[in-house]
Chain A
């Protein structure tokens, strides 16, 4: 993830092709959804979208085609979001070691013979035709719902690593958290997500 200059990621092609007036109509919803997924707060998401459009106005005005335009705007928005995280990480911590701590323990035999083994009824089920599921749009709605249930800090960490594809080191730098805390949070988030999807999607054997 390059965090360098926001609006100068690609050169504009020709001034006549694009129209900033139209940007809000064409891309406002998508940018808002993108921001909301990551910032979890309507006001913050709106601010990020506004900041993106204003930065875009300063940086350049045109692209050949809506999808190149959208990518460029998303790039600016990503940087705005990262700036927000950097600032926020100085004021509050992004570490959350409470989440899923008990639930994680409760899935395994706690003592005696077979300690640490999966409790039979709670073990992972076989996922029928999992590959096909992941091609369906509805599946990703279910995924979105499940990640929506993660508490904010855990969701932030999870999204940056799994959806945005930042490396562990990059996430740690951005959010000012330790690597070992990152790994714990990711482990629990992945476990919770897997469980949620199994219960809400795969259990219905779609």
Chain B
């Protein structure tokens, strides 16, 4: 009996996530599938919660675009190869020709 009560409890919890859980679920969905019941619960929550919907949109936007901007991100790194390192590397390459 207790076993079934617990099952029902966790099913109910999965079907009615709070924002904190919904936000975490949306992140995890980017990485791995979630059980159907959790996905249903999330959908229901998103129907009613503007903030979590926004969060999900923003999360997806950043996630989708990051890998398309690898080059821009690299170039945006302010530091440069120091001239000392540059010379050192050239010397090494000469030695190894």
Contacts and interface: CB of A to CB of B under 8 A. Distances in A.
Interface of A: 20-21, 24-25, 28-34, 36-37, 42, 46, 49-50, 53-54, 57, 104-105, 107-108, 115-118, 123-127, 130-131, 134, 137, 140-141, 143-144, 161-165, 168, 179, 182-183, 186-187, 190-191, 193-194, 197-198
Contact of B27 (A32, A134, A183): A183
Contact of A134 (B18, B65, B89): B65
Contacts of A57: 93, 96-97
Contact of B18 (A34, A117, A183, A193): A117
A194 B66 CA distance: 12
Interface residues of B, number: 44
B77 A54 contact: no
Contacts of B52: 118
Given A24-B86, A165-B67, A144 B73 contact: yes
B6 interface: no
A115 B18 CA distance: 8
B58 A186 contact: no
